[in-house]
Homo-oligomer: A and B are copies of this chain.
């Protein structure tokens, strides 16, 4: 039996949600008025229970028996559907949606905690539901009432699933180069032609139907990203009464075989090889990318949650192993007639565990904070407050996506190392966590793209208002940390933040071209990420208050670890950025 405590720490979630983020205060808002601290806790417990009992048991099986492409269809083992049906039956697909479509109207921050349980237990099964939720949310925001009735309600019931069809074989990161076309028909529908690549959950038999949300060009539109439209292309056409009609012209052409994340089918789909796939326009023509990006913040934070959850469960497993496995003795205590020591007594193992703790708990706090920002964006009392939350979320999104993807992956690497040779075998969980997590720096915008997003767009947007919002938020915390050790940490954070802001100004003011300015955008992303997470750790340090139990002492020590071992990494990074280093540009292709 798998225990929830090997997936995430309920104690940590309570601390972050209640002691730190005060999620109960959200229940005073109209949207969440039917909820209470108890209902939040109950749904989180329910998710922990489903995660441990329904998802975790087949996580390894997803890896060893990945979905197969057989006779044009996907064949996968039965436990995936059994688990996802339980999630849908519990109403969790619609956890955040409006009550009038059957949703539970839970805050995003609570949903974030729920999703983290599922992703820690089985990231590749959960992906089917995650994509369904994302697709449903997009249609709820931009679809017609009829589209919502036809497609979203069955998604909430768990009968239909969703996909996001962006990439094409020649257009992965470069969405401007999409060529799939949607030809308008006399009846107001479209016929879609083209190939879509890397489509997660692109085909399966987990429900009755799959609702593909497809980016395509309507002929005659602009050639760039302003000429991309969004269409619903269902796998099976749906009759007016909701019953299924004929198979649409969407063909599964093949599956990609991945290093990890194997339980999620990743498909090449061909649209329109048999005369045209029937599609239905969402919203206005040529505005598809905007609609997609409307959901992108949430999808990107979602990637961050997944990366976090894998880092977190890997940490807990490494910790459990280090407490029970004995090996060797500390320096100066080499008598082999005495029993060997638990691994956790070795300084280097403790270093690896503290590093994992600081990454996983830091990332969890960061993504929960972003979840709360999404709630503020939607439900804060004033328009100004909502706009301020939206602005801060914009700046934090590339960090919330990339930082966990980088450092919780590093945590998984350390979890393998703590296990030694055993961690390198497939009998233990941690090598699969590493392989599953390795996708996260690639999909939903690569690490490099997040860097360009942050330095090239987010910190400069609205005349620098994004960076100002970030700076103001961090400075408010620094201002609260006036006493004792917190004040020391705040001083270090203040110095790093001041330097980050200065260097940002230097880059923007430099008399050079945009290529040079953005040459080290990934380094900038990493420096900004470590600065933000240092702030998150100062927040947690402050939130421990005056209590002195083991949990709070551990939080404080992880904060110290982050400030002593991690934050100083930003020094050389900012030096490099300040001089607008061109080393990577000043080499000819032939010289590699």
Tell me whether A561 and B584 are in contact in the complex, defined as CB-CB below 8 angstroms, given that A172-B421, A438-B424 are known contacts.
Answer: yes
Contact in complex: B560, A583 (CB < 8 Å): yes
User: Within 8 Å of chain B (Cβ to Cβ): is A564?
Assistant: yes
The reply to whether B513 and A332 form a contact with Cβ atoms under 8 Å apart is: yes
Q: Does B572 lie within 8 Å of A327, measured CB to CB? A: no
Size band of the interface chain A makes with B: 35 or more
Q: Is B351 within 8 A of A173, CB to CB? A: no
Kindly state the separation between the CA atoms of A327 and B330 in the bound complex, as whole angstroms.
52
Contact of A518 among B331, B515, B554 (CB under 8 A): B331
Chain B residue nearest to A326 (CB atoms) is: B170
Q: Given known contacts A174-B327, A446-B420, is B561 in contact with A583 (CB within 8 Å)?
A: yes
Among the stretches A116-124, A364-372, A519-527, the one at the interface with B is: A519-527
Residue-wise interface mask of A (566-590) relative to B, using a CB-CB cutoff of 8 A (1 in contact, 0 not): 0011011001100001011111111
B330 touches A515 (CB 8 A): yes
- CB of A334 within 8 A of CB of B442, answer no
| A452 at the B interface (CB under 8 A) | yes
Oligomeric state, in number of copies? 2
| A482, chain B: closest CB distance, angstroms | 23
> Are A520 and B330 in contact, with the CB atoms below 8 A?
no
A220 within 8 A of B: no
| Partner-binding segment picked from A36-44, A85-93, A254-262 | A254-262
Q: Is A535 an interface residue (CB 8 A)?
A: no
Residues in B with CB closer than 8 Å to A568 are 571-572, 575-576
Distance from A287 Cβ to chain B, minimum over Cβ atoms (Å): 17
Contact (A348, B522) CB under 8 Å given A327-B172, A456-B331: yes
Residues in B with CB closer than 8 Å to A177 are 328, 336, 340
> In the complex, what's the smallest C-beta–C-beta distance from A432 to chain B, in angstroms?
8
Q: Is the CB of B426 within 8 A of A258?
A: yes
Partner of A550, one of B172, B335, B591: B591
Contacts of A590 in B (CB 8 A): 550, 554
Tell me if A554 and B172 are in contact (CB < 8 A). Answer: no
Q: Assess whether B515 is in contact with A584, with CB atoms less than 8 Å apart.
A: no
Task: Determine how close the nearest CB of chain B comes to the CB of A586; give it in whole angstroms.
Answer: 7
Across the two chains, which residue of chain B brings its CB closest to A521? B348
Neighbouring B residues of A441 by C-beta, 8 Å: 417
Whether the Cβ atoms of A591 and B224 lie closer than 8 Å is no
Known contacts A425-B259, A438-B416: A576-B587 contact under CB 8 Å: no
Which residue in chain B gives the minimum CB-CB distance to A167?
B421
Contact with B along A144-181 (1 / 0, CB 8 A): 00000000000000000000000100111110110000
| Bound-state Cα–Cα, A327 to B446, Å | 13
CB distance from A576 to the nearest CB of B (A): 7
Asked if A299 is at the interface of the complex by the 8 Å CB criterion, the answer is no
Question: Once bound together, how far apart are the Cα atoms of A522 and B346, in whole Å?
Answer: 12
Shortest 6 CB-CB distances between A and B: which pairs? A554-B591, A568-B572, A348-B448, A174-B328, A259-B431, A350-B584
